[in-house]
Structures are given as C-alpha cells and as structure tokens.
Amino acid sequence: MPAPVVGLRAAVREALRTKAGLFGFGMVGFLLALVIVVPVLAPYDVISSWGESERWSDNPYSAAPDWLDAFSATKAARTKIVEWNLLQGPTRDRVDRFTYSESNTTELFKIIQLRARWTFAYDGFPQEIRLQTLYWSTEQPVIAIEWTRPDDENVTIYQASPQRLGPNVETLSLSSMTQPFNVLSAVRQWAVGVGADPVPIEKVRPHIALFAEKGPGMMDPSRAKVLKGYYSMTITVFNAEPSDKMQARFTSFGTVFGIAGTDHLRRDLFIGLLWGAPVALAFGVAAAVITVMAQVILGALGAFYGGRTDEIIQRGTDFLIILPVLPILILIGQLYQISIVWTLLIVVMFNILGGTTKVIRTIALQVKEESYVETARSYGASRLRILFRYIMPRTMPYTFALLALSVPGFIFLEASLSFIGLGDPVLPTWGALMGDASRNGALYNGLWWWIAFPALGIVFTTIAFALLGYAFDKVLNPRLREE
C-alpha cells in the first residue's frame, strides 16, 4: 500500500504530478491572474457605473461580438462617431470631427455649418443613427440637416425651427418612432421618390433607407442592400445670433461591438464577464474557506469535548443539513434587495455546520483514542494544544480536497440567485448576466453569446476547482492513486 502523503507542500507536489492536478492548478491560476489583472484593467469605477446608462450610451445595444463576422461572408456595421466639441460623454480616440465653419456673418446673424464625411464600407446596416446637439441661443434659428450619399443623392432629413433650445443636450434619434415625424416623413418621401415601395410611416427606418441602394426594397430591412461609399452630413444653422455656439455629435451605431458584445442596456459584456470572475471567485472562495474551517473546528471541538457540547453540535448539524438554503435565499432576496455581502453572510450562516462536521468528528474521535493523544494529555498538554497539534493535522488532507470541491457549489448558489434576478443589484455577476439574457429573449433572438459566455465562465471556474479537488482527493486517498 503506498505511503500516505503528509503535509500540504507534499500534497501539492503530488497533485501537480497528475494530469487533473495540472489542469486544475493551471485553470485556477488563470482565474487568479484574472482576479488580479481585472481590477487594474477595468477599474472599479467602471463597475460602479454598471447601473448608470450614461457610461454606456455610445455602445449599440444587444450587439454581437465583433469577431463573429470573421466567420461569415458579410461584414457587419461598426460604430462610427463624429463630433464637434461635445464635452459631455467619454472622449475616444477613434472619433472624427465635424468641420466647423461660419459664414455670412453680419451684426445680426450668421450661418453656422457643421460638416462630417466618412466612409461606410460594411455589408450590414447600422443598428440606429443618432444625432446629439448642444446649442446656445436666445432666438429661434432654423436648423437644417442634410444627408449626402455616395450615389450623390441629397436628402434634407430635417428642416425646422426647434422649439426648445438652451444649454441642454438634445438627442435626436434618427431611427425611431419617438422622434419628430418630419424626419421619418422626409425620408419616406425621398425614398418613394427614388423608387422605393411605400411603407407605413411607423415602419420607416431611416438607418436603413438612408444607407440603402436605390430600388423598390430600399425601405424594407429584408430586401435592402447597403450602398457603400462616402457619406456626409451637413448641419446648417440659419439665422444664428452672432454669439451662438453649436456642438454636435453624430453616432452611427454598429451591430457588433467588442469582444463579447453588449447587453440590452448597451453595457460592454466583456467588462461584465471580466468582473464576473473576481466576484464569483471571491464569493466562492470566501464562503468555502469560512464554512469548511467552521465545520472542521466545530466537528473537532464536538468530538473533543464530548458531552453537551457534542450533543448540541450534532443536533445543530442535522438541522442545518436539512434546511434548504436556496428557497430561503430566494425569499429574502425578493423581499429585501440584498447585496452580495449579505448573501454571503446568509449562506455562511446556513453552512456553518454540515456534512463535514460529522466526518471530522469521526476522524477526531478516532484520533482522540490513539495513544499519542493520551500521552500528550498525561504530560499536561492543554486541550487546545492537543486539538491543534494532533487532531487538526489529521484532518488536513480531507479538508483541503473539500475546500476545493466546495467552491463550485457556492458559486452556483450565488449564480442561481442572480439568474433569477435576486442577486446583488449592482454587480455584474455571471449569473446576473445570464438572467438578463434569458429575460430579454437572448435565446429567442439568436443572441446566443450573451447567455453562453457567462455560462462558459461559470463552467470553466467550476471545472477548475473540481479538477483541483479531484487531484487532491486522489493524492490524499491512497487507494485512488495510480500505482
């Protein structure tokens, strides 16, 4: 029979010799690296803004990962931003600028013109187009927005004197119904004029029509084809006061974004995924360590002191084993919005005694009967000393494998809670991402990455710890070793 492995270092070394141990350590190592790197790369203020929509407003919503179209013949649209001096919002390097010019300046008025020109070379249409303007004026100027296409078509999509002007950002979404009808009707009128089949006003999609090749299907998303080439947009302010200022930002949203896409609130899923790792790990490891240690100590204490203490611990263990944690967590989560720290506390409370307590108690009872313990007691060693120096080391092998194997269970508990939507309301955990995805029709709309990536994250972490625990199990349970 092979000799039992003693000591943590020896156990680790032995575990590394097995394939499972190697993989397990490797995977856990990777996760640990993530935990360290992520707070540096994506600092916490990114996360605290997980709940703020402002931070993410320049991303498309429910976008696919941008490397996906490497697998298909068509290239999907990417986000393009052109701005002039718009101070709000994050500054990006790849943002182009409008050209600004003023003309016909007299004492009483002037003409401001902002002009942008860019190439659109994608096979797919943008998700939507949006214009944000910031204008200071006391009078009511006339603003005209003109759209020029590669086929030299010029569309005046907007020409009016907007009512409320002041130092507020006006967002003109040029894609949706909630915007002034005159944009939609201007686009429709022009499109029909160049041969498009007519479409009811509420079905007009400027982000399709304005980019589509002329033809009968140009207003129909299923038939329209993209016209590639140079596009330009000109914003002209007539009757501007000499002191007026204008800023603008035009965004053409792509349909893909980033390494992992975005969710329904435009949040970068990659950041969510990255942050899922440290959160899951922190929760799982903290819960595992605290509960296993508590169970081991209490089990040993019960065995050692015997009598009433033992009885109480035993009854308590039986009770806590039977009590179901998840339903109660769900109940509490629904009624009170609990943060992940509270979830941790409740989970720990329910697991402070458990199956391990019984096993450790059995081991401790055996050790207690052995002669070297009697010897120690005979020379006056205190009970505590015996507990730590003799009983605990004997429980170490079992404990370590158990630690590794407990982590996944806790990660899943938290993920289950978050999936239902009752987890931490602020943090982007993997379970929360999956829950969001499932509730927002990820499966039905083919946005598989939204639900699959966090799921993969959970699976990866789980397997990492399972392999680790399995390797330790093999090492420390001599009968399972390969000899």
Q: Which is nearer to another protein, 32 or 325 (CB)?
A: 325
Read out DSSP for 439-477?
HTTTTTTT-HHHHHHHHHHHHHHHHHHHHHHHHHHHHHS
The H or E element that residue 302 is part of is helix 269-305
- Closer residue to another protein in complex, CB, 275/350: 350
| x/- track of binding to another protein for residues 1-30 (CB under 8 A) | -x-----------------x----------
- In this structure, the strands spanning 142-148 and 99-103 are unpaired
DSSP for 162-209, please give it: -S--SSSEEEEESSSTTS-HHHHHHHHHHHHHTTPPP--GGG--HHHH
The answer to whether 323 contacts another protein (rule: CB under 8 A) is yes
Which range in 168-176, 190-198, 206-214, 441-449 contacts another protein by CB under 8 A? 441-449
Is the CB of 193 or the CB of 441 nearer to another protein? 441
Q: Which of residues 30-59 bind another protein (CB under 8 A)?
A: none
Q: What is the nearest approach in angstroms of another protein to the Cβ of residue 322?
A: 5
> What does the alpha-carbon distance between residue 237 and residue 244 come to, in Å, rounded to a whole number?
10
Q: Are 252 and 231 in contact (CB under 8 A)?
A: no
Residues β-bridged to residue 231 = 118
What angle, 0 to 180 degrees and rounded to 10, lies between the N-to-C axes of helices 448-476 and 269-305? 30
Candidates 57, 159, 239, 416: give the one binding another protein (CB under 8 A).
416
Which position among 9, 94, 308, 479 is part of the footprint of another protein (CB under 8 A)? 479
What is residue 23's three-state secondary structure?
helix
Rounded to whole angstroms, the Cα distance separating 419 from 434 reads 6
Residue 3 C-beta: closest distance to another protein, Å: 11
Q: Indicate the residue among 87 and 322 with the shorter CB distance to another protein.
A: 322
Query: Residue 463: exposed, middle, or buried by beta-carbon count in 10 A (0-12, 13-18, 19+)?
Result: middle
Six-digit token pair at 268?
Answer: 């970068």
- Residue whose CB is less far from another protein, 6 or 36: 6
Q: Of these, 35, 265, 294, 463, which contacts another protein (CB under 8 A)?
A: 463
**Which span sits near another protein by CB under 8 A: 250-258, 292-300, 365-373, 413-421?**
413-421
Does residue 207 contact residue 127 with C-beta atoms inside 8 Å?
yes
Beta sheet of 169-173, edge-to-edge order: 96-97, 80-84, 245-253, 128-136, 169-173
**Closest to another protein by CB, 82 or 338:** 338
Considering beta carbons, is residue 30 or 100 the nearer one to another protein? 30
Q: Which CB atom, from 71 or from 444, has the smaller least distance to another protein?
A: 444
Size of the site for another protein (CB under 8 A): 46
**From candidates 56, 125, 275, 465, binder to another protein by CB under 8 A:** 465
**Residue 268 has what DSSP assignment?**
B
Candidates 122, 211, 275, 419; binder of another protein (CB under 8 A) is 419
Interface residue list for another protein (CB under 8 A) = 2, 20, 315, 318-319, 322-328, 330-332, 334-335, 405, 408-409, 412, 416, 419-420, 434, 438, 443-444, 446, 448, 451-452, 455, 458-459, 462-463, 465-467, 470, 477, 479-480, 482-483
